[in-house]
Amino acid sequence: MKKYDGVNKAMLDRFATRPGRKPLLPELSEKAQVALMCRMLIKEGWDEHIAGHITYRLANGNILTNPWEVAWSELTASDIVTLDPKGKVIDSDWNVTPAIGLHLQLHAARPDVHVVIHNHPHWSGIWACMQKVPPVYDQASAYCGVDLPLYNEYEGTFEDESTSMSAVEALGDAKWALLANHGSLVVGKDLRQAHLRAITLEWRSKRAYQVETGGGGTPLNDAEVEKVAIADKNGFPFIWEAMARKELRLDPSIID
């Protein structure tokens, strides 16, 4: 059985289903959860002015996304846009990015993918521009395993359908990717899983850059990474809720 910091998978499963005496979060609409995700990730380095988009496919096939005109740092639940599976806006006067095609194609190609995140993050963006994959130097960098594809056929922005489809095909069944000279892409089965992957990618990239500019170190080998990677299907217990509470303390209006 895999171990994580002295705690085995069965223990993680038990903790994930026992949140303690108080609710970890108030009841949140799906739009509120997407708005919170944007606020949470901007604090993790996923912050490039008004760039970037998150899509969240609902059980009925419709898709929630952030509007083009509004920065992630100012989003509230009422700003989140609902799209049909083809990308038509259902319930908003806001616009959506022309690059939404990448997300729609990913959702169509990957039934397992209900969340897609793309932006030009600070630290993983550096590695994408260097066209290198950051090594894993510490435990937090290893949360989501080793494999990190680098899509290195930059042909422009993702407004072009053939360009975005080539990125979809290059991603294959991977959970994330670096987009050379562009940014980063993360997918997940739900918001919790996608959040862990997004923050792990940025932490891994930041730590690797710090270590290598500081003189270098010895990366963990693949076997060591797999030993400390989080095997629990729900991700790291309680971290999504903790980061969401942090944002709600700063701005309770996010969920309005």
**Hey, where are the domains in the chain?**
27-251
Q: Which helix (H) or strand (E) holds 204?
A: helix 191-213
169, burial (CB in 10 Å: exposed 0-12, middle 13-18, buried 19+): exposed
Q: Please state the rounded mean pLDDT for residues 216-234.
A: 85
Question: Which tokens is 14 given?
Answer: 């038990």
Residue 164 pLDDT grade (very low, low, confident, very high; cuts 50, 70, 90): low
What is the reported pLDDT for 228?
85
Task: Evaluate whether 109 touches 177 at the Cβ level (below 8 Å).
Answer: no
**Distance between CA 236 and CA 51 in Å, rounded?**
27
**Distance between CA 255 and CA 78 in Å, rounded?**
8
Other CB atoms within a 10 A radius of the CB of residue 207 amount to: 19
Class of domain 27-251: alpha beta
Q: Please state the rounded mean pLDDT for residues 9-17.
A: 51
Q: Which helix (H) or strand (E) holds 41?
A: helix 30-42
**Distance between CA 253 and CA 226 in Å, rounded?**
40
Task: Evaluate whether 254 touches 35 at the Cβ level (below 8 Å).
Answer: yes
What is the reported pLDDT for 6?
43
What is the reported pLDDT for 14?
52
